[in-house]
Each structure stands twice: as C-alpha cells, then as structure tokens.
Amino acid sequence: MIYALDTNIIIHYLKPNPNVHQNMNNAIMQGDDLVPIIVDYELRRGFRIQHATRKEAAYEILANQAGCCDIVEIDIQSWYRAEQVYSDLYHKKLTIGELDILIAALCLEKGYTLVTNNTKHFQHIDGLHLVDWTM
C-alpha cells in the first residue's frame, strides 16, 4: 500500500507522537511506501520561516530513510483531477486550501491512502481513502 503523508502527520512524527511513530514503523516494516508529495514544500517553507533547523534536520533524516518519503511529482492527470475536486467541492459549497486539493487529487489519481489527522477537512472528497495515525 502507498500512504501519502499529510503535513500534520510528519509534524506529529517530529514532535514525537508515539502513535504516529508506531504506525509509520509498521508501514515501513510491511514494505509500504510513504510519500509526502506536496507536503515537502509545506514543511520546508515552515522550517525556513520559523528558523526551525532542528526540525528540518530531523525531517531530512526521515526523508532519507529507505522506503520512506519519496517525493512524487504531480502529473497532468492529477492536475485535471484537482480541477474536478475543486468543482465538486465548490458545488457542495465547501472549500479547502489549494495545496490540499492538489494532495487529494494526487491521492485519488494514484490510488494512495491519505494519512492525516485532519480527516474532517478531506471527508467530503468523493473516493478519497483517509486514515488518521494520531489516535
């Protein structure tokens, strides 16, 4: 299985949250892939503006682990899926951030399960598989 890690899950990992650590370790041991996709950008910009060099260093260690945190590029099909997600949410009179729409679209297009502790934020996106590792 491929899990796409939302920004908040990696932040919970860096805190550290024992549930997130256990779930990530289990996924890696089972041979599952963990990808942060767009969250790499969100994390790095946050580290930079907060001058959080220790968190950035810890993230670099995590990102360089085998089987963990391969960056997946957004392809044209995912862009088109993002348009559909945005439109569907718009017609439901719901909005979420643009980066979250791109994350959801990539997960839908690639068949990834999105790991987030913000499931309410993504729950209205049809067909998106969600899991929360913080509990």
pLDDT score recorded for residue 66: 61
pLDDT value at 71 more than 90? no
- The average pLDDT across 74-79 equals 92
Residue 49, Cβ density class (10 Å: 0-12 exposed, 13-18 middle, ≥19 buried): exposed
The pLDDT tens digits of the residues spanning 3-61 come to 999 999 989 988 889 999 999 888 888 877 777 778 888 898 999 999 999 999 988 88
pLDDT score recorded for residue 52: 92
CATH 3.40.50.11540 holds for 2-131 = no
130 phi, psi to nearest 5 deg: -120, 150
- Confidence tier at 74 by pLDDT (50, 70, 90): confident
pLDDT score recorded for residue 67: 62
Q: What is the mean pLDDT of the chain?
A: 90
Question: How many other CB atoms are found less than 10 A from the CB of residue 58?
Answer: 17
